[in-house]
């Protein structure tokens, strides 16, 4: 089966700056594909090219196997949910949803039926006669999606549509969007700078930086097996060191940081003794223990002092300073075991070499 959306060697230059640099990807039918990256990385440029508001400098965009480069935006089988939704304020909800159908010259009665169906689908029956500004943020969100979905596009583009919502609603809409995608069974291409949105909803995520795709994979791939230092640093949090490789035996490495801390790690790139490398260890991969016996057979074991406790509910952390003076962020387990932990307490910490990813650093 042909992929719903395929971008081949897509390049977009604005004057001297290259916003999108040779990006290729394909999105299989019915899947939820996210492009995740910091602001200014070129993700919106890709989306606008797919929607047809920008012409690529070179490369091709294919939808269901057909190039759409010469198709204007109003003829492309893709629709877009805009960042601020862009509902038409001068129309009612029903007129908003029916707008695209009216453009297709569909008979009035059929439009009315389809609009009602769409409103049922998004769980807001009977609001058709209301004005846009009478709806809440979450309801507007759903109307914006319904407005596109009545047109049965091959691909639905979503440009950070949750950005304007408050945290609680955003969490709720994440689940809802995923459910809507399953209900409509349409390919979603979702753009965001919020990793948790991408990780929760997506089948496939492309991490983008400075106009290029750093890595494409599912959430687990990106989180557990980052390909590049950027991905390791961008997805989730990480303790980060730069150091020199002391020993290399195949994938197993030992790295010494500038403060003299020796860490056993696993190579992701090809690394040899003497290379400069960057090392990432996630706070949640580090175990906190009262005595060194509890650390089992972890390759890395350290002793240190708690310098501060960063309480944040389930995501609480402690900062631990080891003897060499390095400060590490360690996830604080909420099992009650460490509820009496205080600043200045002595703790043991440890992590496996497999949890420490090592990348070739800038020499």
Identify the residue among 38, 88, 129, 260 touching another protein (CB under 8 A): 88
Q: For another protein, give the closer residue by CB, 88 or 311.
A: 88
Is residue 183 at the binding interface for another protein, with CB under 8 A as the rule?
A: no
Is residue 137 at the binding interface for another protein, with CB under 8 A as the rule?
A: no
Query: Cα separation of 128 and 119, whole Å?
Result: 8
Q: For another protein, give the closer residue by CB, 87 or 235.
A: 87
Is residue 12 at the binding interface for another protein, with CB under 8 A as the rule?
A: no
Identify the residue among 12, 43, 147, 348 touching another protein (CB under 8 A): 147
- Helix, strand or coil, per DSSP, at residue 247: strand
Query: Cα separation of 36 and 86, whole Å?
Result: 22
Identify the residue among 10, 27, 49, 51 touching another protein (CB under 8 A): 51
Is residue 106 at the binding interface for another protein, with CB under 8 A as the rule?
A: no
265 neighbors 255 (Cβ within 8 angstroms): yes
3-state class percentages of the chain: helix first, strand second, coil last, to nearest 5: 30, 35, 35
Q: For another protein, give the closer residue by CB, 117 or 323.
A: 117
Name the minimum Å distance from CB 80 to another protein.
5
Q: For another protein, give the closer residue by CB, 114 or 282.
A: 114
CA dist 237 to 113, 161, 284, 294, 305, Å? Answer: 48, 24, 9, 24, 21
* Chain CA centroid to CA 203, Å: 11
Is residue 99 at the binding interface for another protein, with CB under 8 A as the rule?
A: yes
Query: Cα separation of 25 and 46, whole Å?
Result: 11
- Residues near 233 by Cβ (< 8 Å), separated by ≥ 6? 240, 280
Query: Cα separation of 242 and 300, whole Å?
Result: 17
Name the minimum Å distance from CB 38 to another protein.
21
Q: CA torsion angle for 64, 68, 69, 72 (degrees, to 10)?
A: -160
CA dist 315 to 11, 32, 165, 189, 258, Å? Answer: 39, 27, 22, 29, 29
Region near another protein per CB under 8 A, out of 16-24, 88-96, 304-312, 329-337: 88-96
153 neighbors 79 (Cβ within 8 angstroms): yes
Name the minimum Å distance from CB 77 to another protein.
10
Is residue 164 at the binding interface for another protein, with CB under 8 A as the rule?
A: no
Region near another protein per CB under 8 A, out of 66-74, 110-118, 174-182, 342-350: 66-74
10 φ/ψ angles, rounded to the nearest 5 degrees: -70, 130
Q: For another protein, give the closer residue by CB, 159 or 278.
A: 159
Is residue 82 at the binding interface for another protein, with CB under 8 A as the rule?
A: yes
For the four alpha carbons of 256, 257, 263 and 266, in that order, the dihedral sign comes to negative
Identify the residue among 1, 90, 167, 270 touching another protein (CB under 8 A): 90
Is residue 225 at the binding interface for another protein, with CB under 8 A as the rule?
A: no
Structure token pair of residue 356: 């420490």
Identify the residue among 69, 86, 183, 262 touching another protein (CB under 8 A): 86
Query: Cα separation of 245 and 247, whole Å?
Result: 6
State the number of binding residues for another protein (CB under 8 A). 25
Name the minimum Å distance from CB 298 to another protein.
51
Q: For another protein, give the closer residue by CB, 74 or 342.
A: 74
Is residue 262 at the binding interface for another protein, with CB under 8 A as the rule?
A: no
Is residue 129 at the binding interface for another protein, with CB under 8 A as the rule?
A: no
Region near another protein per CB under 8 A, out of 100-108, 112-120, 245-253, 328-336: 100-108
Identify the residue among 53, 125, 175, 346 touching another protein (CB under 8 A): 53
Structure token pair of residue 257: 């940081």
Structure token pair of residue 323: 């003897």
338 neighbors 330 (Cβ within 8 angstroms): no
Q: Which residues bind another protein (CB under 8 A)?
A: 51-53, 72-75, 79-80, 82-84, 86-91, 99-100, 103-104, 147-148, 151
């Amino acid at each position: 089966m042909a992929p719903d959306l395929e971008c081949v060697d897509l390049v977009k230059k604005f004057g001297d700056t290259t916003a999108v640099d040779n990006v290729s990807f394909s999105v299989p039918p019915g899947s939820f594909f996210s492009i995740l990256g910091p602001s200014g990385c070129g993700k919106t440029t890709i989306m606008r090219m797919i929607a047809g508001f920008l012409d690529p400098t070179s490369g091709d965009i294919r939808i269901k196997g057909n190039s759409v480069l010469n198709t204007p935006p109003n003829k492309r089988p893709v629709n877009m949910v805009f960042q601020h939704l862009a509902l038409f304020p001068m129309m009612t909800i029903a007129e908003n949803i029916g707008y695209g159908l009216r453009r297709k010259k569909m008979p009035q009665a059929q439009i009315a039926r389809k609009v009602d169906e769409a409103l049922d689908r998004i769980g807001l029956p009977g609001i058709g006669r209301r004005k846009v500004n009478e709806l809440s943020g979450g309801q507007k969100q759903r109307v914006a999606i319904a407005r596109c979905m009545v047109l049965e596009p091959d691909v639905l583009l979503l440009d950070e549509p949750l950005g304007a919502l408050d945290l609680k609603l955003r969490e709720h809409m994440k689940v809802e969007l995923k459910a809507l995608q399953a209900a409509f069974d349409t390919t979603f291409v979702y753009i965001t700078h919020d990793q948790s949105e991408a990780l929760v909803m997506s089948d496939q995520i492309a991490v983008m930086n400075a106009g290029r795709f750093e890595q494409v994979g599912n959430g687990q791939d990106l989180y557990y097996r980052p390909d590049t230092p950027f991905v390791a640093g961008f997805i989730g949090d990480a303790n980060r060191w730069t150091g020199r490789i002391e020993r290399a035996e195949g994938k197993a490495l030992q790295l010494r940081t500038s403060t003299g801390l020796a860490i056993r790690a696993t190579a992701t790139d090809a690394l040899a003794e003497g290379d400069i490398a960057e090392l990432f260890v996630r706070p949640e991969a580090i175990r906190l223990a009262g005595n060194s016996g509890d650390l089992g057979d972890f390759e890395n074991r350290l002793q240190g002092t708690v310098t501060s406790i960063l309480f944040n509910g389930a995501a609480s952390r402690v900062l631990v300073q080891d003897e060499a003076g390095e400060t590490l962020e360690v996830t604080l387990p909420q099992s009650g075991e460490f509820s009496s932990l205080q600043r200045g307490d002595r703790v043991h910490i440890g992590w496996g070499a497999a949890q420490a990813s090592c990348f070739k650093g800038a020499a």
